[in-house]
Structures are given as C-alpha cells and as structure tokens.
Structure 1
Amino acid sequence: MSAVLDEIDRRLLRLLREEAGQSAGALGRRVGLSQPATWRRIRRLEEAGVIRGRRLKLDPAALGFGVTVFLGVKIGLRGRVKLEDFERAVTAIPEVQLVEHVLGLYDYRLRVVARDLSDFERVLRRRIMTLPGIGDVEANVLLTEERRPGPL
C-alpha cells in the first residue's frame, strides 16, 4: 500500500525518527495539530506500512558487548545448500544481530556482536563457520559508528 505523504506527515516522521517514544500530544504541539489528529495520522502511517514499528535502541557496549564485526559471507555449496537453510541457522545464533542477503562479492552480510575479540573468535569458529553451506568469510571490525538521518 502506497501512502501519499504531506509536509506534516514528513515532519512527524522526522520527529519520531529522533525519538519514537514521544506522545501524540507532544508531537502534535510541535507540528501544530491536536493530539487526536496527530494520533490519527500516526495510525494511518502505520496502517499504510510507512511506520513499521518502533524500536528500543540499546547500547551494546553498556550491555557488555564491546566488539561489533561485519561479516561478508559467501555460500560455498550453491545448489547443494538451500539459502533458507543457511538463513534459518544463522538467525538462530544470538550474537548475530542482522542478516542481510546482498548482491555483490558476498551473498550475505552479518552484524555480529561479542564481548571481546576472543569471544568473537569463539562465535566465528564454533557457530558461524559450522553453518550449512558456509564458504568464504571476510570480517570487518567496527571502530566507530555515526548515524545520519535519511532523506525525509
């Protein structure tokens, strides 16, 4: 379903992107709408699929996960291993936060968190490298991360 967005919708989305937990009343005051009108717009955006949920952002380091690694993964046994089998197995690993099927040098890109580098090595050797169809793997350790808002 495609939604037609006006400038107020776009302003609401920008504000929600900054802080998803804001009340409809607080948002409405910032965009010049009443609380019920703001709530109706947010509800319409959710129903149209523009807003696909609200997430809690946790700090991995504060939770004891000091290392984030991006893995490029090639499936090595194409034709003998179904991609669904790899996806099912890799999403069952708790340290794997994100699984992206991509086009390019690698078939998948994974975001993996670990307590430290030796913990990451354990996850890599015991869990990831034993997955069905695993081929070449390239690791990139995250040094810093800066999030920039998208073009809304």
Structure 2
Amino acid sequence: MIALDDTDRTILRALAADATLGAGALGRSLGLSQPAAWRRVQRLKDAGIFRGQRVDVDQAALGFGVTVFLGVKLATKGRVSLEDFERAVTAIPEVQTVQHVLGAFDYRLRVVARDLSDFERVLRRRIMTLPGLGQVDANVLLSEELRPGPIG
C-alpha cells in the first residue's frame, strides 16, 4: 500500500470527478508545476491506485430510462456451475453489472432497459432462461447519487 498525502488525495478526488484532467490543469489547481503533477499522477498509477479510465455513459440519453437491480438465487449450485451462469449472463447486453455476492442471493445484476415493457421482455426472454436460475427479486432504481468513496 502506498502512503498518500493531502496532495495525493486532492489529485484522486479531482480525477475521480473528471478523469480527463491533464497534469497541467491539475498542477494549476494545486499550485504545482505540470511536471510535478504528472510525476504524482504517474506514481499513483505505478502503485496500482488507478484501475483504468472509463467514459461515464448517460444511459437515459441513449434511451435506456429504466434501471433494475436483480437479486438472483441459483436453483441448485451443483447442477450448473457458477462459471456457466456468469458466462451466460454476461452475454446479455442489457446486463451492465454482475456481482457475485454473499447473503440472501448469489448474484446481484444491474440491468438497463428502455422502459418497463422492454425490461419485461429482457426478463422473460433473456434473464429467465439463464442456466440454473432459481429465485429472482427486482428493485427498480428511482434515483442515484454516485460517490467517489473514501480516499486514503
């Protein structure tokens, strides 16, 4: 684990908010030179702090107005391997996230759809045909606030 100072934490917060910030902009906001800011960012990258850069796609702008979280319990774990279920579920384009979890369900899925009738189509034709599927519980997302999480 790398030791972080206040400047490192400020850089992480800034990049979590806007990953496109360059070293020059970061340096100006922190009172550092561009090379000093670049070195700090590179040090964080080399330490494995960053897993990558992503584009935050606005699903609603693409016409996907409904997000549903599904809790999935497999019927019998012995008959179908977890890998078979995971392979099949990750092939469904509307499934954005597949999380193997501990608790009441075996998996938690984040599914997007154009509207509720489109979600019903995805549920009936794709989700309900998954190998080993048992119980499914749905929660429709009403609102969401994304937080960067704790830094250092």
- TM > 0.5 between the two? yes
Which residue number in structure 1 is paired with residue 76 of structure 2?
77
- How many angstroms apart in 2 are the aligned matches of 1:120 and 1:111? 12
Which residue number in structure 2 is paired with residue 151 of structure 1?
150
Shift of 1:151: 2.2
Which residue number in structure 2 is paired with residue 137 of structure 1?
136
- How many angstroms apart in 2 are the aligned matches of 1:70 and 1:45? 33
- How many angstroms apart in 2 are the aligned matches of 1:89 and 1:30? 46
Q: CA RMSD in A?
A: 1.0
- How many angstroms apart in 1 are the aligned matches of 2:42 and 2:146? 26
Shift of 1:46: 1.5
Shift of 1:148: 2.9
Which residue number in structure 2 is paired with residue 67 of structure 1?
66
TM-score (norm 2): 0.95
Structure 2 residue matching 1:129: 3-state secondary structure? helix
- How many angstroms apart in 1 are the aligned matches of 2:51 and 2:62? 26
The letter of the residue matching 1:73 is V
Which residue number in structure 1 is paired with residue 112 of structure 2?
113
Question: Where in structure 1 do 4 or more consecutive aligned residues deviate above 2 Å?
Answer: none
Shift of 1:150: 1.7
Which residue number in structure 2 is paired with residue 50 of structure 1?
49
Shift of 1:3: 1.7
- How many angstroms apart in 2 are the aligned matches of 1:129 and 1:33? 55
Unaligned runs of 5+ in 1: none
Residue 13 of structure 2 is aligned to residue 14 of structure 1 = yes
Which residue number in structure 2 is paired with residue 102 of structure 1?
101
Shift of 1:18: 1.2
Residue identity over aligned pairs, in percent, reads 72
Shift of 1:149: 3.4
- How many angstroms apart in 2 are the aligned matches of 1:61 and 1:103? 30
